[in-house]
A and B are shown apart, each in its own frame.
Chain A
């Protein structure tokens, strides 16, 4: 893929990772586990993008976190907050509206 296309694709995908995280984290998840789930779900995200993103969303109050020390390897679990849920709904509505607009272009 040429650089121009790659650049535009990256722009187009940028916000979708946030939406995907907020939706997937209805079930609590930790960094690496979420990375796997995102990749399986078809979102190509890098670890060095996702991990800082999770902390940023937590600082913005869209995610809450909890250390799980029951397992031999303690992990930080994230879960969507009420605010996060509201943002996710807004993002999803916007995504649907954009989708409808783009489909309408193809008439």
Chain B
């Protein structure tokens, strides 16, 4: 050691650099006195001074750990006071935001005119990036809470952080909306969105030049198909909310019905006005001649769709009434 710094100097500096200045002088004097006392004790017991200094400091252990104890700071990132709140919130956020993000990414890429094989890549990257950001920032907020408010106001009190209550228990017996239903709904919606994109970009019907002939009229990309993606995202959010509630609630049933009515009314109006389906698609398949008048086909389809939508709304209302009766 050619340095003028002794081991003790270096140890004290390492232990106290994170201590607020107001406290540091007092703490440094005390710590130095304690170390010197311990070294003296060991020297009296027959150790050489350098060995005694080393042994004393090794006894005190990692200076970062000692500093944390002095400051009464947690030596973990996220403790038990916030762990479960953090976990619940993060799960909810990821379940809601990731599907919406995926759909939004697809929509943006399509508006940019990106080819479908590249869209898959950018969607995966976007979803990963959203997931990482969401997780990081949520966790960071909780870590800050842990280090600031946590010391004085443990679990229940901290502002804005919901504490656990009996009302949060999932309703096991009456749960009518399972996780499987939710996953099927989300996967189904995402697949549907992909099919809508795929039929435009790739399709399975080609014209003479080998270009795809879409099923839906290309003009719909101007407004209607982006609007459809927004509706799909909202319906995913509703399904998640319904899963979280464990059963359909009045608000959710109403919102779902409204969504169905808005979406399908728009689709039916477009269909009946001949603005939804690209008839060239059927021309290429040689089915036009067999069907004759398109208006009849549209009207029959419209009646079937309207009946299906009506039935699904009635089914929802029945489920909701039953759940409400069981709960009441």
Footprint of B on A, CB under 8 Å?
Answer: 30-33, 35-36, 46-49, 51-52, 55-56, 67, 73-76
Contact = CB atoms under 8 A, between A and B. Distances in A.
Nearest to A67: B29
Determine the interface band of chain B, counting residues with CB < 8 A from chain A.
10 to 19
Given A32-B41, A36-B41, A47 B70 contact: no
Interface string B13-41: 00000000000001101110110111001
Contacts of A75: 30, 33, 37
Given A32-B41, A46-B59, A56-B72, A51 B33 contact: no
Contacts of B33: 30-32, 73-76
17 contacts: A31-B34, A31-B37, A32-B33, A32-B41, A36-B41, A46-B59, A48-B60, A48-B69, A51-B70, A52-B66, A52-B70, A55-B70, A56-B72, A73-B33, A74-B29, A75-B37, A76-B29
Nearest to A50: B34
Contacts of B218: none
B273 interface: no
Contacts of B66: 48, 51-52
Contact of A47 (B26, B29, B59, B65): B59
Interface in B174-205: none
Interface of A is mostly: helix
Interface string B83-125: 0000000000000000000000000000000000000000000
Nearest to A51: B34
B149 interface: no
Interface in B25-83: 26-27, 29-31, 33-34, 36-38, 41, 59-61, 65-66, 69-70, 72
Given A73-B36, A75-B37, 20 more contacts: A30-B33, A30-B37, A31-B30, A31-B37, A32-B34, A35-B38, A47-B60, A48-B60, A48-B61, A51-B30, A51-B66, A52-B66, A52-B69, A52-B72, A55-B70, A56-B72, A73-B33, A73-B37, A74-B29, A74-B33
Contacts, number: 53
B54 to A, nearest CB: 14
Contact of B37 (A32, A46, A48, A49): A32
Contacts of B61: 46, 48
A54 B69 CA distance: 11
Nearest to B68: A52
Nearest to B56: A47
Contact of A33 (B27, B31, B37): B37
A35 B69 CA distance: 17
Nearest to B67: A52
A42 B26 CA distance: 30
Given A32-B37, A33-B37, A51 B59 contact: no
Contact of B31 (A51, A56, A74): A51
B18 to A, nearest CB: 14
Nearest to A49: B69
Contacts of A36: 41
